[in-house]
């Protein structure tokens, strides 16, 4: 029987903010299957790591679940067809970041025929072959995360069910509707890591999820000690380092990774996908996406084929009720990226599509820094965002590096509280990119 307990006091980290969450728009909407797309555009890099080489060519017939790209590099993730049809092109296509990525374009035959994959008994190999990545947004290959260095023993497995980003509710629905799959994926991951202690961090605004886990775990069998930790509803509570600090009290060192403090963190959606793959043999070819917005006619949580265009999903939700669409964000309003076109595809890390009309998207003109210190007070990484932004504006990137710019998690909390409406997070993000670029070219 599951050794299950709930930690009733709310844990948290130092700093953070309390934005308008607007989750009520979609939190009560059960997961629906999105319509089969007319075509999909599947980038050969949807993950942290090396780009995949195409395994198909224009004119090839493919089925859903068929591998269409892979890399010999260890840090990478295989890519699979999400629908059946004909490969129309292999060419650079626009992605949500605004960059061009080599992509496989498949035209649907309307049949949605799938391959019949063999179920791989080796869990780690199955995860790698399925192209599973972190589905909370970072898209780091899961087989790598579950293979920590041998000299770094893992003591805790932390499951991220916080979903602190405003508007997003896809993890919320997964935890309610696919609880058994989440628990099974957790158990499989814990066995691979050889850990006994597992914590599931869930924010207090999801009491229905906590109650559901208590109900569903009564007959679930595992050898691991599982504890649900009720977290304070605060942004960015779901940040990896903030979650580790809140639950274990340990701090990941500057420039370090979680395994250096004996921790591995997985998203609840990733855990559910691990279990699905081990049940069916099917790779990661679809995911749950929250399509939402205050003026969207019908916000939804949709199970979407990878490669489906944002435009098709927004149309399926009825478009906006007034005005015109001015901005669409991939992800949530804090850490998400405004997409350059509605034709960009859903990728493995797409957790949300936030639709905004002009009055929401209009940004105020930034003013001079007032030196009020609010950004310093709320920074979850204990940085000095005001100074980092100043140095970035003046292109003093060596100063940015000295003041810890690379430790910034780009949560956007500093920009949110800035009384002068400065683009602090964006300036620090620019500095990080320049520092990394300079390191590579040295």
The pLDDT value given to residue 226: 86
For the domain made up of 3-29+121-280, give the CATH fold: Rossmann fold (3.40.50)
pLDDT in tens, 400-439: 999 999 999 999 999 999 999 999 999 999 999 999 999 8
Spatial separation of the C-alpha atoms in residues 274 and 430, rounded to whole Å: 35
What is the per-residue pLDDT for 363?
86
Surface-to-core class of residue 102, CB atoms within 10 Å of its CB (0-12 exposed, 13-18 middle, 19+ buried): middle
State the burial class of residue 177 (Cβ atoms within 10 Å of its Cβ: 0-12, 13-18, 19+): middle
pLDDT of res. 8? 47
Structure confidence at residue 219 (pLDDT): 66
What stretch(es) of the chain map to CATH 3.40.50.11540?
A: 3-29+121-280
The pTM is what?
A: 0.95
Cα–Cα–Cα angle for 438, 441, 442, rounded to 5 degrees? 85
Instruction: Enumerate residue ranges in the chain where pLDDT < 50.
Output: 1-3, 6, 8
**Average pLDDT value for the chain:** 94
pLDDT above 90: percentage of residues in the chain: 90
pLDDT at 2: 44
Q: Determine the pLDDT at residue 333.
A: 96
User: CB–CB of 193/157 below 8 Å?
Assistant: yes
* Pairing verdict, β 156-160 and 263-267: parallel
Structure confidence at residue 114 (pLDDT): 96
> What is the pLDDT at residue 218?
66
CA dihedral 205, 163, 125, 285 (to 10 degrees): 110
| pLDDT tens digits, 173-214 | 999 999 999 999 999 999 999 998 999 999 999 999 999 988
Q: What is the pLDDT of residue 206?
A: 96
Contacts of 122 (CB under 8 A, 6+ apart): none
Among residues 164, 174, 123, 171, the alpha carbon closest in space to that of 146 is found at 123
The pLDDT value given to residue 1? 39
Can you give the pLDDT at residue 9? 56
């Amino acid at each position: 029987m599951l050794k299950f307990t709930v930690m009733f006091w709310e844990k948290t980290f130092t700093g953070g903010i309390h934005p308008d969450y607007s989750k009520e728009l979609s939190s009560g909407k059960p997961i629906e299957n999105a319509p089969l797309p007319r075509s999909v555009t599947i980038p050969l890099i949807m993950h942290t790591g090396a780009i995949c080489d195409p395994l198909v060519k224009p004119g090839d017939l493919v089925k859903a679940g068929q591998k269409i790209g892979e890399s010999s590099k260890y840090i990478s993730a295989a890519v699979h067809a999400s629908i059946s049809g004909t490969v129309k092109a292999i060419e650079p296509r626009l992605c949500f970041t605004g960059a061009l990525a080599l992509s496989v374009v498949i035209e649907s035959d309307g049949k949605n025929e799938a391959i019949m994959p063999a179920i791989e008994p080796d869990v780690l190999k199955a995860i790698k072959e399925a192209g599973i990545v972190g589905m909370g947004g970072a898209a780091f290959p899961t087989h790598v995360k579950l293979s920590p260095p041998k000299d770094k023993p893992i003591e805790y497995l932390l499951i991220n069910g916080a979903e602190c980003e405003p508007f997003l509710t896809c993890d919320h629905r997964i935890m309610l509707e696919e609880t058994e799959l989440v628990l099974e994926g957790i158990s499989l991951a814990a066995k691979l890591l050889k850990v006994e202690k597992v914590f599931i961090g869930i924010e207090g605004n999801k009491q229905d999820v906590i109650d559901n886990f208590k109900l569903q775990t009564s007959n679930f069998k595992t050898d691991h000690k599982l504890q649900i930790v009720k977290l304070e509803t605060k942004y960015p509570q779901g940040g990896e380092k903030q979650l580790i600090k809140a639950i274990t009290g340990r701090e990941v060192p500057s420039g370090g990774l979680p395994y250096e403090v004996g921790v591995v963190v997985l998203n609840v959606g990733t855990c559910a996908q691990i279990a699905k793959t081990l049940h069916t043999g099917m790779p990661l070819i679809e995911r749950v996406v929250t399509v939402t917005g205050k003026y969207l006619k019908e916000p939804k949580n949709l199970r979407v084929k990878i490669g489906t265009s944002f435009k098709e999903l927004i149309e399926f939700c009825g478009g906006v009720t007034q005005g015109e669409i001015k901005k669409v964000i991939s992800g949530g309003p804090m850490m998400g990226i405004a997409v350059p076109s509605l034709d960009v595809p859903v990728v493995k890390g797409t957790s949300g599509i936030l639709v905004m009309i002009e009055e929401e998207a209009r940004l105020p003109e930034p003013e001079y820094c007032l030196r009020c210190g609010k950004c310093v007070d709320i920074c979850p990484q204990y940085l000095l965002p005001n100074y980092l932004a100043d140095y970035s504006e003046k292109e003093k990137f060596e100063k940015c590096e000295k003041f810890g710019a690379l430790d910034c998690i780009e949560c956007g909390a500093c920009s949110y509280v800035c009384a002068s409406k400065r683009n602090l997070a964006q300036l620090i993000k620019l500095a990080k990119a320049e520092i990394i670029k300079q390191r590579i070219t040295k």
